[in-house]
Structure 1
C-alpha cells in the first residue's frame, strides 16, 4: 500500500492510497475537501459497494448501486419516523432502559465487583431501548439472554472482522468458512424475528382497517414498525413487508453499536477529566432541583449545554463511525483545482477531519469548550460531522443524541446519599 499526502494552501487535505497497482482510494480529511463530495456532489457520489456488500445477506440488497434511487424514496418515507413529536414519547423508554442498567451496576457493586465491560453493558441497554422503540416489545435483554439480541451482536462482530481478512472478502470463500456459517445462522435468527413481527402487525392492520387500527394505538407509543406500515410515497405506494423488515433490521444494526460507542467514550473522557465531570453534575443538579421526579423529559435536553458540549467533544475525539466511502459517478473538482475522475472511490475520513490540526488546534486534547458557541461560530460546518453530512447523513442522529443525553444525565445525577444513581459518587464509570 502506497500513501501520498497532498498539501493545498499549507494544509493537508487528502491522501492517496494504492492497494496494489490497480486500486486507488483517495482519503479526504479536511472540511473543504470533503464538501464537494458530501454536499455539492452527493447525488452523483453513492456509497462504495465493497464494505456495504458484506451487509447484503443481513440487510438485503438495499446497498446495491441500482437501489440508490429506491433508497432515496425510502428515506423520504422514513423521515416522519424521526420527527420530534415521534421521538418525545421515546424519552420514557430511554429513562426506563437506563434505570435497568444502573440497577445492574448497583447489584454488581453490592456483590463486590470492582470492574465491568462498560461497552458491553451499554450495548445491551441501547439494544433494549431500540427493541422497544422499533418493535414495541420488551425482550428484557439486559436481564436475561435473548437469541435475537445475541444474533445482532454476533452479526456486528462478524461484519467488522471480515473487513480485516482479505481472503474472506470473496463471497464463495466466506460461505465456506466458520465465520460464514455463523453469519448465515445469525441472519436466519434475525430475519425470522423481524418477519414475524412485521407479518403479524400487517395482518392486524389489514383485518381491522386503517382507522380502527389507528384508534387502537391511541394513548400508546407509536413504534418504528407502525410508522413504516403507514408510510406512503408521493404516488400513494406503501412499503412491502420485505422493505419494512430491511429498514427495521438496518435501524437495529446502525442504532445500537454507534450510540453505545459514543456513550462509552463520553463516560470514559469524563472519568479522565473529573473537573468536567463535576461541571456536568452541577448542571444536572440545577436542572432537576425543583422537579418532582428524576425522569429526564424532552424539554430538559436543551437545558444541559455543558453536558452537550462534553458529548460533542467526545464524538469529535472518538467518532463512532470513523469514515464513510463514496464511489464517484462523475468527475468531482477538489479545492486545489484537481479533478477526481469518475469511477474512483473516496474515503471521507471523519476521524481524520476531526483530528486535522489545521482545523482543530491540539486535536488529541479533550476540551469541551471547543463547542462553546463563541468558540465554534467560525468553524467550517463540516469540521464536525460524527453523523456524516448532506442528504445522506444519519437519519437517526436526533434519536441517538437524545438517548445519549438521557443516559449521561441519569448516570451523573447525584442522589441524597452522596452516590450517583449508577454508583458511588466519584467512582469512575469506566
Structure 2
C-alpha cells in the first residue's frame, strides 16, 4: 500500500473517471468524521441488498431519527447482562475446542464467527440458535462470507458497478426467493445469500411479534422472569415524540445491519487479537495471568470485571490498530469539505478515511508494524491525537455498538487464554480487505489445553 505519508491526503483513481481521496492523518480524518456526511453511495450501495437502509447506510433526517431511537439499546444498563451471555457463548466454543483434543489446529475465523453470531443472537434477539454446534446453522456465516467475497469481486471490476450488468452476471444473477427446502450449505450467489439473511431475520421478528401479541392477549408481563431487554424489544417499542414507531421494513433493516456489523466485525477483532497473542507468548502469558488473577477459576464473567483487565485491553487495542476490522470508511460529500491545510474538496467527490493506513502512519506511530501493547498504556496515550486510533470510527457516525464489541472481545480473550495456550500454526495469515478485514488463507492456531 502507500508508503508516502508526507501528504495527509492521497489520491487514487478508481478506473479512468472516478477519483478517490484517501485521508491517512488524524487531522484530515477529523475533518470528515466530525461531519454527518453520508456513506459512499457507490461502494456501500453494493451491500445495501443485504442490510437495507439501516443505521450504517441511511443518512439525513432518517439517520438522525433512527440513531436517536436506537441509542437506548446501547445504554450501560442494557449492556450489563450481555457479559454473562458472552461468557456462555465463549464457553460453548471452549468446550468444542476441548473435544478436539489438546494440540489441535483450528482456523479462528470459522469458529469465532459462529461464537459471535451465537452471542449477538442471544443479546439482540433473545434467540438461542445452537449455531456453534448445529452444522446447518453455519449457513448464515457462509452467506455473509460469500457476500463479502462477491463485494470485493464487484469493486475490482468497474463494469459490475452497473446494477443491470451485475444482475446478468454469473455472480449477481437473481434467482427465486429461497424456500425452506433449499440446502442452505450451498448458498453461493449474492442475491441468494441476501435472501437467506432476510428470511432469517424476518422469521425471528415474526416469531417475536407473535409472542408479544399472545402476551398482550393474555395480559401477562411484557417480559418474562429473568429476560433482559434486548435490541429487538427496543426496536419494537421505539417511538417518536408523536408516537410513530419504526415500520416493519425499518426494523428488518436495523436487525440485518446489527447482526452483520455486530458479529462479523467482532469476530475479526477477536481472531486477530488471538493471533497476535499467539505470536507474542510474553504478552499472552501476561494477559493470562491477569485473567486468572481476576477470575480465580470462574468461567463466567460479570460487568464489574470489564474494567479490571487493563493489560488485556491494551493488547486488544494494539491488535485493532494493526488489523482494524473495518479498514476504511467511505463518504460522499454533499458540500465542500475544508481541510486543515486550507485546501478544499468539492461536493460530489468520494473520500475515504483509511483507518488501516492511518493506524500505520509513522508520523504518528513509531515503528508502526511492531505489535506493542504498551502504546496504549495511560502514560503513552494521554497526549495522542483523538483521531489517531479510530477502529470504531469517530464523530457523530461512530459505531453505536463499540462498547458491546469491546466487552465481547475482552470476555472471549480472557476466557480462551484461561483454557488454552495458543501457538501459531502454518503459514502467516495474509490479510485481505473486504468489507471486514479477513485472512485469505485463514488464521490457524494450535491450541494446547491447560489444566
* Cα separation, 2, equivalents of 1:395 and 1:239: 18
Q: CA deviation at 1:221?
A: 2.5
CA distances 1:133-176 after superposition (whole Å, capped 9, x unpaired): 22222221111122444433433333343323333222122222
2:331 match: 326
Alignment partner of 1:283 is 2:290? yes
Q: Is the 8 A contact 1:62 1:68 kept in 2?
A: no
CA distances 1:297-356 after superposition (whole Å, capped 9, x unpaired): 111010010000000000001111111011111112112111111221111111111110
Alignment partner of 1:151 is 2:143? yes
Q: CA deviation at 1:214?
A: 4.7
2:393 match: 388
Which deviates more, 155-164 or 351-360? Answer: 155-164
Alignment partner of 1:259 is 2:251? no
Identify if the C-alpha distance between structure 1 residues 17 and 151 changes in structure 2 by more than 3 Å, giving closer, same or farther: closer
Superposition pairs of residues 332-371 of structure 1, within 5 angstroms: 332-371=337-376
1:136 equivalent among 119, 126, 129: 126
1:224 equivalent among 227, 231, 241: 231
Q: CA deviation at 1:403?
A: 0.4
* Cα separation, 2, equivalents of 1:157 and 1:313: 26
1:25 match: 20
Identify if the C-alpha distance between structure 1 residues 122 and 233 changes in structure 2 by more than 3 Å, giving closer, same or farther: same
* Cα separation, 2, equivalents of 1:153 and 1:231: 31
Q: Is the 8 A contact 2:55 2:66 kept in 1?
A: no
2:38 match: 46
Q: Is the 8 A contact 1:76 1:233 kept in 2?
A: no
Q: Is the 8 A contact 1:350 1:386 kept in 2?
A: yes
Alignment partner of 1:56 is 2:48? yes
Q: Is the 8 A contact 1:4 1:16 kept in 2?
A: no
Alignment partner of 1:99 is 2:99? no
Q: CA deviation at 1:121?
A: 0.9
* Cα separation, 1, equivalents of 2:234 and 2:193: 26
* Cα separation, 1, equivalents of 2:292 and 2:210: 48
Q: CA deviation at 1:63?
A: 8.0
Stretches of structure 2 that go unaligned for 5 or more consecutive residues are 174-188, 425-444, 447-451
Identify if the C-alpha distance between structure 1 residues 249 and 257 changes in structure 2 by more than 3 Å, giving closer, same or farther: same
Q: CA deviation at 1:72?
A: 1.7
